[in-house]
A = this chain, B = another copy of it.
Amino acid sequence: MLAFLNGQFLPEEQARVSVLDRGFLYGDGVFETIRVANANPFQWPEHFERLERGAARLRIKLPCSNEELGQAALHLIAENGVTEAALRIALSRGPGPRGYSIKGADHPTLAMTLHAAPKLDPDHPRLWNVVTTAVRLPPKDPLSEIKSGNKLPHILARAEAESRGADEGLLLNGAGDPIETSSANLFWLERDTVCTPGVESGILPGITRAWVLDWCRQARVEVREKTVRSSQLSRADGIFATNSILGIVEIQQLDETRAARAALSGRLQRAWLGALNA
């Protein structure tokens, strides 16, 4: 596999960064994960916009424009001869002097790699078993709104879920309310209303979350951003999760409770796959 690193295309095993890179030391960076379909990165503008916003929040100067990075992504996809994949962009502040000060760290590292993406078949949709984890995210955390390189809470939630035999772990915020899973945004149904926690709850506002909210508005399905208690969630009229690689995934089991079937989830996934493959 070829990788992209700081303007160069080179074999993945040669794509290496300094041990002084602040990404490696402190998670001092942002990243994006994008589904590639028909050799095309789906929703590229939305992902690039979030990358740009995260970099600005961390005061990391993006070393290239939307057009330049987009061209490099297409070149990477073509050179590797893949059509279906997951594309990861990682931007770090690069190497710098010892310590937390960002002074003197002016050469960001930008890497893109391609990975296998799970096949998605609308006739055989995934169903997740989710458990509530011990991980708490701080509310009103300015970092939660960007896809930062500080992902230990999500890693620990995922590890806890897997060790308990589940697919994904549910994370709560400081108020004890469920807000997202380790790799996906959370939705639930109250009768025909599609509900999801608002940005102020501490979630990472996902690209697929926004796509679902848009779809609902266009389809005149009522949507509400609101908080939910754990006990309300397990009694909801269906639960599902969204991310950029898998689309919309129904949650069939939450802790000890069998969730109600969420028929809308299958309809959403078909629509999302339609857009992905358009």
Contact = CB atoms under 8 A, between A and B. Distances in A.
B88 A98 contact: yes
A58 interface: yes
A153 B149 contact: no
Nearest to A161: B101
B25 A23 contact: yes
A17 B157 CA distance: 26
A155 B102 contact: yes
Contact of A150 (B13, B97, B98, B152): B152
B19 A111 contact: yes
The main secondary structure of chain A at its interface with chain B is: mixed
Contact of A3 (B5, B12, B19, B140): B19
A15 interface: yes
A152 B143 contact: yes
Counting every copy of the chain, the complex holds 2
Q: Interface range on chain A: under 10, 10 to 19, 20 to 34, or 35 or more?
A: 35 or more
A5 B19 contact: yes
A12 B21 contact: no
A113 B19 contact: yes
A1 B149 CA distance: 28
Given A111-B19, A138-B174, A25 B149 contact: yes
28 contacts: A13-B18, A16-B17, A17-B17, A20-B113, A23-B23, A23-B25, A23-B27, A24-B149, A25-B149, A25-B151, A26-B151, A26-B152, A27-B151, A28-B152, A28-B155, A58-B156, A100-B151, A100-B157, A100-B183, A101-B159, A102-B155, A103-B162, A136-B140, A138-B138, A150-B151, A150-B152, A150-B153, A174-B174
